[in-house]
Amino acid sequence: MRVRVTVMPKAGVLDPQGKAIQQALGSLGFDAVHDVRAGKVILLDIAETDATAARAAAEEMARKLLANTVIESFTVDIP
Amino acid sequence: MRVRVTVMPKAGVLDPQGKAIQQALGSLGFDAVHDVRAGKVILLDIAETDATAARAAAEEMARKLLANTVIESFTVDIP
């Protein structure tokens, strides 16, 4: 079963990658972009047929490895 | 309006970040993970109230800057 983990910097945490993207977009003429936040998306193919169990496993993986929960928040969904 | 751009390595393109995550998960005991693909997610706050125009702008940004369309594919959605 495919599970998607999305990891984003928490609100209030400085996001230098997002700021760099915003500046680059501005220099390309995209002036209407007020804010950019950059995160990661990780698609996991888990040997699990039960959606609830697959989500629980992905959440444990996110807490233990995929996200730094001090500065990042994560969401888990079945795409 | 908030628009989400998701950028993933195309199928068949080597994904070293995904492979590294898979190995790290395996060493933590998560053996049921068959495959991992790692990509980027970019949340854009665009000064545009029309959803169609906002999506079109985000698609242009993705083609011009956010994605390398030779090796990456992207999707645009309103979260």
Q: Domains in chain A, start-ordered, CATH in brackets?
A: 2-77 (3.30.1280.10)
Looking at residue A12, what is its pLDDT?
92
To the nearest whole percent, how much of chain B has pLDDT over 90?
99
Averaged pLDDT of chain A:
96
**CB contacts < 8 Å between A and B, how many?**
95
B44 vs A: CB within 8 A: yes
Compute the average pLDDT of residues B28-39. Answer: 96
Looking at residue A57, what is its pLDDT?
96
A79 vs B: CB within 8 A: no
Alpha helices in chain A (DSSP H): 16-27, 51-61
Looking at residue B16, what is its pLDDT?
96
Looking at residue B33, what is its pLDDT?
96
A11 vs B: CB within 8 A: no
CA distance A62 to B25: 10
Chain B residues in contact with A3 (beta carbon < 8 A) = none
Question: Using alpha carbons only, how large is chain B's radius of gyration in Å?
Answer: 16
Compute the average pLDDT of residues A48-75. Answer: 96
Q: What is the ipTM of this complex?
A: 0.91
Phi, psi of B36 (to 5 degrees): -135, 130
CA distance B40 to A1: 21
Question: What are the C-alpha distances in Å from B16 to residues A18, A24, B38, B76?
Answer: 23, 26, 9, 24
- B7 in Cβ contact with B60 (< 8 Å): no
H or E segment at A38? strand A33-46
Cβ pair B41:A40 closer than 8 A = yes
Compute the average pLDDT of residues A25-47. Answer: 96
| Nearest residue, CB atoms, A24 vs list B36, B60, B65 | B65
Give the SS3 label for residue A45: strand
CA distance A8 to A39: 4
Compute the average pLDDT of residues B26-40. Answer: 96
pTM of the shown model: 0.93
Question: What are the C-alpha distances in Å from B11 to residues A28, A73, B15?
Answer: 29, 27, 9
